């Protein structure tokens, strides 16, 4: 125990080391605060949107006549859907920074409404948010390198390595203490703000523990890599250069190369193109015989086949059938779009088995409910709700029933569902293996430091 105490005092008396730990703690706290502010702003926005939507519906119901036109009401009445942030979303904001978290839909074609707001400036979206995941993946390794690159070479340059190597005890015990002590201090500096943020956000203890565990494994991985670099380098400058090169390769070059390869191998069209295709299909129906549109609609909705024939001129049931037929015409494109997105996600998870940085990001975003899986789940809930809205209005439109003020109380209500979930067990095991292998390599390399090294 005294040896641990002396090592701690020795480390903290080093001003650069103490300053590095303080700065890392401040960056972690700032990232947690920034994430909580962003999620708080989203919650306030959702509350404001819900209040405005409720007031709008109340006003529409007050002005609705007893014999109101159901088709006209369905056309102008919006229905609110929203995706509330999970308690841990502040730690890994992910898709919530670039995708809408509230969407109003009407009883018209879904695809155009689902993707018309998918307009992102790539130059603004590329940097991402300054959240805990960013600090963990891209900044924490730099602090680890700063604290450990001269762990062995510093003793050699100071002339103390021979003396330290001659001390009694198990081979490598000194270096194990130093590696584990630095790991513990780095983990405390990084994880204490995260745990405080999770406590303030009322996050579930199990999910919080998993997120902290994933972050700790990532720190273990880099401490192992840094210990290896410190052991094999002949001097401090060489150790820093070697570890910085490893950081650039593992955290920047390889993930970027994988992403570029996936973009070339699995091309994905923009959602706005899908919305445009649906709108073009709808607009083209204006120049086609109405009966052709109705027959296309009846293929998927045969229950309305025996309703009264269309009169001359405009009729709302033809209009809504036209929108649904437009959705049906682009259903294949929509499925291809979603399949391509999910294929990229699956291949990213496959690459994460071998890349610790990608792995921990996938785990954190899954636990925070801000990944592509959560995004697609929200879209599925919107689609299911849109189906309920359409089928709620169809009896009024196709049977030509009036829609009065009292009918507003029977409108379907969107029920959100949490987007967070437990991460894939394979990825968690892979990260644990990567961290264990890196730490074992680092400790074994430092244990081999002898008088002749």
Out of 6-20, 23-37, 207-221, which region has the weakest mean confidence (pLDDT)?
6-20
Q: Is residue 313 part of a domain?
A: no
Answer yes or no: is pLDDT of 418 > 80.
no
Q: What mean pLDDT comes out for the span 437-447?
A: 89
Q: Is residue 372 part of a domain?
A: yes
Query: What's the pLDDT band for 124 if we cut at 50, 70, 90?
Result: very low
CB atoms within 10 A of CB 327: 22
Parallel, antiparallel, or unpaired for β 79-82 and 102-105? antiparallel
Q: Is residue 301 part of a domain?
A: no
Q: What is the pLDDT of residue 75?
A: 93
Answer yes or no: is pLDDT of 231 > 90.
no
Q: What is the pLDDT of residue 178?
A: 85
Q: Is residue 303 part of a domain?
A: no
- Higher-pLDDT residue of 217 and 153 is 217
Percent of the chain with pLDDT over 70: 90
Angle at 225 between CA 450 and CA 3, to 5 degrees: 55
Digit-coded pLDDT (tens) for 27-41: 999 999 999 999 999
Answer yes or no: is pLDDT of 393 > 90.
yes
Q: What mean pLDDT, rounded, does the chain reach?
A: 88
Do residues 87 and 204 lie in contact, with contact meaning Cβ atoms separated by under 8 Å? yes
Q: Is residue 330 part of a domain?
A: no
Residues whose CB falls within 8 Å of the CB of residue 117, separated by 6 or more in sequence, listed in order? 100, 103
Q: Is residue 296 part of a domain?
A: no
Query: What's the pLDDT band for 135 if we cut at 50, 70, 90?
Result: very high
Out of 63-67, 192-196, 246-250, which region has the weakest mean confidence (pLDDT)?
63-67
Answer yes or no: is pLDDT of 413 > 50.
yes
Query: What's the pLDDT band for 149 if we cut at 50, 70, 90?
Result: confident
Number of structural domains in the chain: 1
For 358, the domain range is 1-284+341-453
Partners of 103 in the β-ladder: 81
User: Which of 21-35, 160-174, 418-432 is the most confident on average?
Assistant: 21-35
Digit-coded pLDDT (tens) for 345-381: 999 999 999 999 999 999 999 999 999 999 999 999 9
CB atoms within 10 A of CB 6: 11
Q: What mean pLDDT comes out for the span 233-250?
A: 92
- Higher-pLDDT residue of 181 and 173 is 181
Q: Is residue 326 part of a domain?
A: no
Query: What's the pLDDT band for 305 if we cut at 50, 70, 90?
Result: confident
Q: What mean pLDDT comes out for the span 175-190?
A: 91
Q: Is residue 291 part of a domain?
A: no
Q: What is the pLDDT of residue 165?
A: 62
Digit-coded pLDDT (tens) for 57-93: 999 999 999 888 999 999 999 999 999 999 999 999 9
Answer yes or no: is pLDDT of 130 > 80.
yes
Answer yes or no: is pLDDT of 301 > 80.
yes
- Higher-pLDDT residue of 407 and 123 is 407
How many angstroms separate the CA atoms of 277 and 273, rounded?
Answer: 6
Give the CB-side neighbour count of residue 116, counting CA atoms within 13 A.
Answer: 12
Buried b (16+ CB within 10 A) or exposed e, 14-37: eeebeebbeebbebbbebbebbbe
Q: What is the pLDDT of residue 451?
A: 42
How many angstroms separate the CA atoms of 391 and 374, rounded?
Answer: 26
Q: What is the pLDDT of residue 44?
A: 95
Out of 190-204, 314-328, 409-423, which region has the weakest mean confidence (pLDDT)?
409-423
Answer yes or no: is pLDDT of 123 > 50.
no
């Amino acid at each position: 125990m005294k040896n641990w105490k002396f090592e701690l005092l020795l480390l903290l008396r080093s001003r650069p080391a103490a300053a590095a730990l303080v700065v890392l703690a401040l960056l972690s706290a700032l990232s947690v605060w920034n994430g909580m502010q962003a999620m708080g702003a989203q919650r306030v926005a959702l509350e404001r949107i819900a209040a405005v939507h409720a007031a709008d519906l109340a006003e529409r119901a007050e002005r609705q006549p007893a014999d109101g036109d159901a088709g006209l009401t369905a056309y102008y009445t919006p229905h609110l859907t929203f995706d509330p942030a999970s308690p841990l979303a502040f730690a890994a904001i992910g898709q919530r920074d670039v995708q809408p978290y509230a969407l109003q839909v009407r009883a018209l074609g879904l695809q155009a409404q689902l993707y018309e707001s998918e307009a992102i400036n790539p130059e603004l979206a590329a940097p991402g948010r300054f959240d805990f995941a960013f600090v963990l993946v891209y900044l924490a390794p730099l602090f680890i390198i700063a604290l450990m690159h001269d762990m062995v070479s510093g003793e050699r340059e100071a002339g103390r390595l021979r003396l330290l190597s001659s001390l009694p005890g198990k081979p490598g015990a000194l270096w194990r203490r130093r590696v584990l002590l630095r790991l513990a201090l780095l983990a405390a500096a990084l994880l204490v703000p995260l745990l405080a943020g999770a406590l303030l956000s009322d996050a579930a203890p199990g999910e919080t523990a998993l997120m902290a565990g994933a972050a700790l494994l990532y720190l273990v991985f880099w401490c192992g890599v840094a210990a290896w670099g410190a052991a094999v380098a002949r001097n401090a400058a060489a150790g820093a250069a070697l570890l910085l090169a490893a950081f650039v390769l593992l955290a920047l070059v390889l993930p970027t190369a994988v992403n570029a390869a996936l973009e070339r191998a699995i091309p994905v069209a923009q959602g706005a193109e899908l919305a445009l295709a649906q709108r073009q299909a709808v607009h083209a129906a204006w120049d086609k015989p109405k009966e052709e549109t109705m027959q296309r609609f009846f293929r998927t909705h045969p229950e309305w086949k025996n309703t009264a024939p269309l009169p001359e001129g405009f009729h709302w049931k033809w209009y809504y059938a036209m929108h649904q037929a437009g959705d049906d015409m682009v259903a294949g494109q929509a499925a291809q779009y979603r399949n391509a997105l999910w294929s990229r996600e699956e291949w990213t998870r496959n690459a994460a088995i071998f890349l610790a940085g990608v792995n921990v990001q996938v785990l954190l975003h899954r636990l925070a409910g801000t990944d592509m899986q959560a995004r697609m789940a929200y879209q599925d809930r919107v689609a299911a709700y849109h189906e309920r809205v359409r089928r709620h209005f169809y009896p009024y439109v196709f049977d030509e029933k009036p829609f009065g003020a009292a009918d507003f109380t029977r409108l379907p209500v969107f029920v959100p569902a949490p987007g967070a979930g437990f991460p894939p067990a394979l990825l968690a095991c892979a990260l644990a293996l990567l961290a264990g292998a890196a730490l074992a390599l680092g400790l074994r390399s430092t244990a081999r430091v002898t008088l002749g090294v």
